[in-house]
Every structure is written in structure tokens, then in C-alpha cells.
Amino acid sequence: MKAMLSTQPGGPDSLALTEQEDKSPGAGEVAIRIHAAGVNFPDLLIIADMYQFKPERPFAPGGEVSGVVESVGEGVDNLKEGDRVLAMMLNGGYATRAVVPANTAIKIPDNMPFDEAAGFLLTYGTTRHGLAQRGDLKEGETLFILGATGGVGSAAIELGKAMGAKVVAGVSSEEKAKIAKEFGADETLVYPKGELDRDAQKAFSAAIKEACGGEGPDVIYDPVGGDYAEPAFRSINWKGRYLVIGFPAGIPKIPLNLPLLKGADLVGVFWGAHTGREPEAHKENLKALFQLYGEGKIRPRISQTYKLEDAGKALQALADRTATGKLVLDCT
């Protein structure tokens, strides 16, 4: 098998294409011939030793894959050779083959392409958990999304609309505003790039309120962080919910008087821990997501596909924040 390995902490250019021996599945495991792998921001963090978990090197990054079950280990009765599946893992996805616990592999519909399957679970799973369980988004409420044309941002647009919310998409360019409209956003707001001084933050906060109808958003979905977080929180409606998804622009410091003054909640969204701690809720989320996919209400927007050996280029696009939609690797 081939894999893009991290042998030392570094950036996107630190990965190296390497040949490895195939591993046979043990009890309770399945071997998957990988067709596609999703590219996500945590992959950048994990190769730089900046993630919550630090695998022993050498390792391949990549937390979500899709492909075909090649063989099954002892005791596996829910999957068989030839099944089309997607799977989640901590790492190991940037490869042509992976061995995973059978309970982490999920059968996919026959009409679901492998690239869409590889870009499905992390973004939509995170977003469904965030909006439904953590944000308690209700029909008729207003949802404001930062970084709305990225992987999780575009998923938030679709799921927000499917849940009956008014969706306002925050983006960094007019080009991305057009893309957000194509994803289904009701309104768009172009915010300035880079560091924001106090005046710029006040202007940004006022613009969010105006775009959301004057009262501010009921739920804010923030996968960006940095200087955008505080002014976004200042715009939130009474009893609003601010969802912390990630912070590629930097970890913000939000004054704790703001939740008090707005009666608002500052809510963390850790989907990976949720799947293990709350398996029944996770199962219900999966059921809802596959139903929405079948109805055509959600669909991963694969903006670019890279060859396995070009994984570094895909990661660099994430690091530069130039990517829109979902990036995947072709691992065949």
C-alpha cells in the first residue's frame, strides 16, 4: 500500500509518499481499499503536533475515507467483502488502504459517489451535532455562519436551511458570497480579511446585526475564530447560542461579560467526543443526515480533487484559506 506519511512535525510539505506492507484485519476489524479521503483542517494540526491527539510517528494523516471492504476479521458480521463504506479514524486516511474497527465503518448508498462519501461524515456530522444538540436551532430562527464557503461552513448553510432557519453567510470575498448563495444562503456578508482594529470590529458587529434583521443572529456558527469572534458575539441576539467549531484564524479571547449581558451561551462543539460519549444521539444524527442526502437537501460540494501524492497541495489550500467547499484525495 501507499501512504503519505508524517515523519516529523511540520507543514503540508513535510509529508512523504511511502510504500508500506499491507496489514490484515484482526478481530472486529475490516480492511478497506480506499478510493477517496477527505481533507480537513485537523489534518494540518495533527502533522504539526498541534492537535488534541498526537499519534506515534510515522503516521498518515486523514480522518475520513470511503472505499470498498477488502476483507473482514473474526467476529465481524455487519460488513462483508465488497461493501461500499465510509469510515472515520483519528489518522491513516491519506493512503490506499486502511484497517479500521468494523463499528467505525458505515455502509453508503449505492448512488453515493466515493468522493462525496469521503467528504460527508466529518463536516455534516459536526454541523448536525452543533446545530441540533448544541445550538438547539429552531425553525424561523436566524443562523449566522463565519467562513461559510469552507467544508463545515457550506454544510452549515445546507443544514440550517433544512432545519428551517434564515441563513446569513459570512465570507471573505464577493466571489465567495456568490458561492454561498449557490449553496442556499438567504443573505451574505463580506467581512474584511486580516486583523481587525476596534473600529473595524464595531463596524463588523453592526453589519452582522443589520444582515440578520436588526436583532442579531440567534445562533452563530464559528469555524474561524481569531479577530472575528468577539465582534460576532457582540452581535448575537438575546439568549443566542455561539457555537465554537474551530479557530484557524487564531484562538480568540472573548470577554465573559458578553454572555452575561446577552443572556447568551458560548458553546463548544466537539463532535469526535460526542460520537463516543453519546452513541445513540450520533446514530440518530446519521439517520437524519442520510435521509437528507437521499432527499437531495444536502450534498458535499467537492470543489477540487487531488492525487494522493499531492496531499500537501490540498493541505496548503486549507492553510491559505483559499479552498471553498470540500477537498478530497483520489487514493485509487
Q: What is the pLDDT of residues 72-126, one digit of tens each?
A: 999 999 999 999 999 999 899 999 999 999 999 999 999 999 999 999 999 999 9
Instruction: Check whether 323 has a pLDDT greater than 90.
Output: no
Query: Are 2-120+300-330 and 123-272 in the same CATH fold?
Result: no
Distant-in-sequence, close-in-space partners of 133: CB < 8 Å, separation ≥ 6: 274, 278, 281, 285
Query: How far is residue 138's CA from residue 75's CA, in Å, rounded to a whole number?
Result: 42
| Region 25-47 average pLDDT | 96
Query: How far is residue 162's CA from residue 144's CA, in Å, rounded to a whole number?
Result: 15
Residue of 169, 170, 214 lying closest to 193 (CA atoms): 170
Q: Does domain 123-272 have CATH number 3.40.50.720?
A: yes
Q: What is the CATH number of domain 2-120+300-330?
A: 3.90.180.10
Domain boundaries, the chain: 2-120+300-330, 123-272
> Are 329 and 311 spatial neighbours (Cβ–Cβ below 8 Å)?
yes
Helix (H) or strand (E) holding 268: strand 265-268
- What confidence category does residue 325 fall into, taking pLDDT thresholds of 50, 70 and 90? confident
